[in-house]
Structure 1
Amino acid sequence: MVDIVPLNTGDIPFADDIIRAAADSGAEVYFVGGVVRDLLMRRRIHDVDITCFGIAYSEFAGLLAEKADATYVPFKDNVRLVKGGFTIDVSKPRGETIESDLQKRDFTINNLALTLKGEIIGDPYDLEKALIRHVYTSVFDDDPLRILRAFRFVSECGFDIVPETCRLIADKADKIKNVPKERVYQEIFRFFSGSYFDKAVTLFFRKRPKDLFRKGNRTKNSAAYYLFPELVDSEDIRQNSIFHRENVLKHSLSVAKEIFKIAHGLNIAEERRFVLITAALLHDCGKKEAWLRNNRKNFIGHDELGSRVAAEIMKRLGYPNKYIKRVSFLVRQHLKLTIFAVNGVRKMKLQRFVFENMDEVEDIILLSLADNRVKKFNMKRLYNIILRIRNAQKEIDMSRAKAVSGSDLIGMGVERGPEVSILLKEVHFRLAFGYLKSMEDVKNFLKEIRGK
């Protein structure tokens, strides 16, 4: 249930400019879609959508750009005005009247309009009841991205998708594969960044939602199958019951939901939270390939394989390279602390791990915590490794390492070439942790290691 509040157009950014532009042009202008929904829900307004009648939308956008001193960016069926990081989208009407326009919107929580006087057009019933319902039967044919958007709204608002919309999503799920990857990525980012991600991801990957999706090949009646087939295909792979409670897919979802809770509790920033959730969801995506390679006996090597598979998945979904690099690295590293906890690790090896992963060690810790909390693992062992990492972080002093450069090593007789960077990294590590304390120590170490 959502508490609907009285509306005041004065709460909408740039409302005064929009009202003045409407008065000067004689246009019939309405606020539509997300801005009306968010205003009714008391949510922060990120952008404003308007449509107009009695004037070409592009002409009205030009007038408004002058009033608001905004940048005018034309697209196919709308003009985007940008000012100070805020956007106003002036869209071409989807019908001859505002009522017919609203009937071509995606979901009933969005087929609401607001007059410049603050009067609501449309029925806010589904918004009040927190329900996501499609407006018309060809809604996903017109734009298949709306399939993914339904789950994004679950993640952002905590709403429920009504059964008839779930069935329509099941019938149209395969159409999602035809959406440009750039648009898919934008929806995934918002989906994974929502306050109700745990609820949304459970519904998104649900294979057999009783009485919702049509019978038959249930696996392919899910958008998840077409976006994350490597994960969906891992549902039938059972894991060692000594360590795991769930199959590979369910474990991956549990880890993603656990990292979501951890990130929420630590108030981690949105971009980093997105990386962590993606890494958690994909951390075991290499298990099926490893399982097949190892004659269905074990998952040895799934961390390295998973790093590659994760990169392939993210490229296919339009992830930017900076996220692909970070997530694939975390997938490759996700077992490290678990192995240390089980097998033990010498002090210098753990210090070297901290030194080599200084920028990523905190995220490696969080991913390892989420991974192990949801399975049968002796957490005391992992906590001990984390405590030792904290001690190593206190011991490291990079200012000592910066005192020696590659030129210094060349001056000590190291030949120019790849050997310089290899030896410099080792020297920096030993300086940072105090194994070497002076230039004389560095010279002696080089003589010892090079045998010269």
Structure 2
Amino acid sequence: MSAPEPRARTVVELQQAVEAELARLAPVVDALGEVFAAAGHELALVGGPVRDAMLGRPHHDLDFATSARPDDTEKLLSAWGDATWDMGRDFGTIGCRKGEWTVEVTTYRSEAYDPDSRKPTVDFGDSLAGDLGRRDFTVNAMAVRVPGRVVEDPFGGVVDLAQGVLRTPGTPEASFSDDPLRMLRAARFAAQLGFEVAPEVVAAMTDMAARIEIISAERVRDELVKLVCAPWPRLGLTLLVETGLASYVLPELPALALERDEHHRHKDVYEHTLTVLEQAIDLEPRLGTDGPDFVSRFAALMHDVGKPKTRRFVDDGTVTFHHHDVVGAKITRKRMQALRFSKEETEAVSSLVELHLRFHGYGSGEWTDSAVRRYVRDAGDQLARLHVLTRADCTTRNRRKADALRRAYDDLEARIAVLQEQEELDSIRPDLDGNQIMELLGIGPGREVGEAYRFLLELRLDHGPMSTEDATAALRAWWAERSA
């Protein structure tokens, strides 16, 4: 997946696009604008909805800015909408649902970070221009006043949108000092929109990268998820590495750019990783899910992070990375825990990293059915993602080798499908349950039941389903030998 080549748009085309989208939004934006105007307040559609309207991307979640204070906003929305909420009241935001639309209205404001604080201080403002001036990028600093539908663009966002460039309304140094998370957002928007980041913005990101350390792990995590799930994550990830930001938020990524040794040769692990990520994205339709799949993408990004710690030089000029799968799983788990990912996501990604090399013992089909069953058992509910990761991990330019690997994995998947149909591999378990084990052996709950269960499970994996009589005989024989 190469970097996008955005089609050049004229300012007139952008204006026509926003007019068409505003016509679609008219039942909501004009009606709400009239409600606020009747109460003596200003209201304007702002941010992402305006930007995406110009790009021809429809929205059902609408953001507004207003001169009204939160208490007044809540009264107006309560009377107009179907339901309201005020979780963002401390930041001046009141939410509302109106039919199929989700609306958030925020009082004009300005934010700034104390140099040592993770949380912004909020001051309410009195003008739309002042509110737009505190936003992250010019393409997000446009507004449409309603109900009159007057476009406000004090910082040239329309031109930057037409040219596909990310700039800040003021100096990038001031913007990133106010909210360092905006540096990550620059990378995220580059990945989402396929835009170029202006040189002065890149320079400020490089000079101020260390300031990202004051931002909470949760906010960093959320931006990384959006970046990884964007259409062109390579653009954003490359920007993070080149500016040094990745060294603070995802240091395992730049560490993959291993220093070359003149006597030893091996694949560029950093470039290989980005290619694997792009190939995993291309394979996402295999998962049958709607939209991007973060777990499979992040597993592709992290699958080789164990290589720097396991690299060893061999006298014959080769390089080894023994056990980098196991080491990488531990590194991945630690990083995801530090970023406050959920336990479920952390275990899913770490498991995929640990299993990503397992297929390479398959050869041309030498695995027994027992080995195939264990592959399915160990993958568990991540089997479909493991299929994607394993296929994406082939980046060789040798067409014959690539075709051989693809055919081998086709064969493995076919064998898994046959065994799943015959043996219900997705819910593989011993042929006797815990109650039957205790009754046959005359024992109560305890360690011995667990040992017997594991013995029967291994027997099931080795030989497939057994009759109750055969499983009973095998269990009695094992118990007798164990007792002796």
TM-score by length of 1: 0.86
Post-superposition offset of 1:227: 1.2
Measured in 2, the distance between the counterparts of 1:431 and 1:265 equals 29
Q: Deviations over 1:337-366 (max 9, x none)?
A: 123338943331122222342422221121
What is the one-letter code of the residue matched to 2:107? S
Post-superposition offset of 1:197: 2.1
Out of 137, 140, 150, the residue aligned to residue 119 of structure 1 is 150
2:438 is the alignment partner of 1:406: no
Task: Pick closer, same or farther for the CA change 1:222–1:419 going to 2, 3 Å.
Answer: same
Q: Deviations over 1:16-74 (max 9, x none)?
A: 55224313311111111111111221213253221112x32442233213311322323
What is the one-letter code of the residue matched to 1:410? M
Post-superposition offset of 1:324: 0.8
What is the one-letter code of the residue matched to 2:137? F
Secondary structure of the residue aligned to 2:210 is: helix
Post-superposition offset of 1:447: 2.6
The residue aligned with 2:271 is: 250
Task: Pick closer, same or farther for the CA change 1:400–1:364 going to 2, 3 Å.
Answer: closer
Post-superposition offset of 1:193: 1.1
Q: Deviations over 1:104-143 (max 9, x none)?
A: 2111101101011222110311111111111111111111
Measured in 2, the distance between the counterparts of 1:241 and 1:421 equals 52
Measured in 1, the distance between the counterparts of 2:166 and 2:141 equals 11
Q: CA RMSD in A?
A: 3.2
- The range that moved more, 434-443 or 423-432, is 423-432
Out of 37, 40, 50, the residue aligned to residue 36 of structure 1 is 50
The residue aligned with 1:351 is: 373
Post-superposition offset of 1:400: 8.7
2:202 is the alignment partner of 1:166: yes
2:84 is the alignment partner of 1:70: yes
2:302 is the alignment partner of 1:278: no
The residue aligned with 1:289 is: 309
Measured in 2, the distance between the counterparts of 1:430 and 1:389 equals 23
Measured in 1, the distance between the counterparts of 2:102 and 2:471 equals 55
Secondary structure of the residue aligned to 1:354 is: helix
The residue aligned with 1:333 is: 355
2:136 is the alignment partner of 1:106: yes
Measured in 1, the distance between the counterparts of 2:397 and 2:448 equals 43
Q: Which residues in structure 2 correspond to 1:414-425 (within 5 Å)?
A: 415=443, 416-424=445-453
2:323 is the alignment partner of 1:301: yes
Task: Pick closer, same or farther for the CA change 1:190–1:91 going to 2, 3 Å.
Answer: farther
Secondary structure of the residue aligned to 2:130 is: helix
What is the one-letter code of the residue matched to 1:59? D
Task: Pick closer, same or farther for the CA change 1:435–1:188 going to 2, 3 Å.
Answer: closer
Measured in 1, the distance between the counterparts of 2:168 and 2:271 equals 29
Task: Pick closer, same or farther for the CA change 1:338–1:91 going to 2, 3 Å.
Answer: farther
Secondary structure of the residue aligned to 1:410 is: helix
Post-superposition offset of 1:403: 6.6
Task: Pick closer, same or farther for the CA change 1:162–1:321 going to 2, 3 Å.
Answer: same
Percent identical residues: 23
Measured in 2, the distance between the counterparts of 1:437 and 1:46 equals 55
Question: How many residue pairs are counted as aligned between the two chains?
Answer: 435
Measured in 1, the distance between the counterparts of 2:65 and 2:279 equals 42
Given that 2:313 and 2:320 are in contact with CA atoms closer than 8 Å, whether structure 1 keeps it comes out as no
Given that 1:31 and 1:50 are in contact with CA atoms closer than 8 Å, whether structure 2 keeps it comes out as yes
Task: Pick closer, same or farther for the CA change 1:265–1:363 going to 2, 3 Å.
Answer: closer
What is the one-letter code of the residue matched to 1:177? E
Post-superposition offset of 1:80: 3.5
Task: Pick closer, same or farther for the CA change 1:339–1:434 going to 2, 3 Å.
Answer: closer
The residue aligned with 1:235 is: 257
Out of 153, 165, 177, the residue aligned to residue 131 of structure 1 is 165
Given that 2:138 and 2:168 are in contact with CA atoms closer than 8 Å, whether structure 1 keeps it comes out as yes
The residue aligned with 2:411 is: 387
Task: Pick closer, same or farther for the CA change 1:365–1:237 going to 2, 3 Å.
Answer: farther
Measured in 1, the distance between the counterparts of 2:85 and 2:28 equals 14
The residue aligned with 2:115 is: none
What is the one-letter code of the residue matched to 1:41? L
The unaligned stretches of length 5 or more in structure 2 are: 1-7, 111-124
Post-superposition offset of 1:239: 9.3
Out of 82, 96, 102, the residue aligned to residue 86 of structure 1 is 102
Given that 2:431 and 2:456 are in contact with CA atoms closer than 8 Å, whether structure 1 keeps it comes out as no
Q: Which residues in structure 2 correspond to 1:1-12 (within 5 Å)?
A: 1-2=8-9, 3-4=13-14, 5-7=17-19, 8-12=21-25
Measured in 1, the distance between the counterparts of 2:341 and 2:71 equals 32
The residue aligned with 1:369 is: 391
Secondary structure of the residue aligned to 1:330 is: helix
The residue aligned with 1:189 is: 225
Measured in 1, the distance between the counterparts of 2:261 and 2:361 equals 17
Out of 164, 180, 198, the residue aligned to residue 216 of structure 2 is 180
Given that 1:65 and 1:71 are in contact with CA atoms closer than 8 Å, whether structure 2 keeps it comes out as no
What is the one-letter code of the residue matched to 2:75? G
Task: Pick closer, same or farther for the CA change 1:345–1:80 going to 2, 3 Å.
Answer: farther
The unaligned stretches of length 5 or more in structure 1 are: 208-220
2:459 is the alignment partner of 1:446: no
TM-score by length of 2: 0.80
Given that 2:137 and 2:169 are in contact with CA atoms closer than 8 Å, whether structure 1 keeps it comes out as yes
What is the one-letter code of the residue matched to 1:261? D
2:281 is the alignment partner of 1:260: yes
What is the one-letter code of the residue matched to 2:446? G
Measured in 2, the distance between the counterparts of 1:369 and 1:202 equals 23
Given that 1:237 and 1:288 are in contact with CA atoms closer than 8 Å, whether structure 2 keeps it comes out as no
Given that 2:65 and 2:108 are in contact with CA atoms closer than 8 Å, whether structure 1 keeps it comes out as yes
Secondary structure of the residue aligned to 1:360 is: helix
What is the one-letter code of the residue matched to 1:168? A
What is the one-letter code of the residue matched to 1:161? V
Secondary structure of the residue aligned to 2:144 is: strand
Measured in 2, the distance between the counterparts of 1:177 and 1:374 equals 38
Secondary structure of the residue aligned to 1:357 is: helix
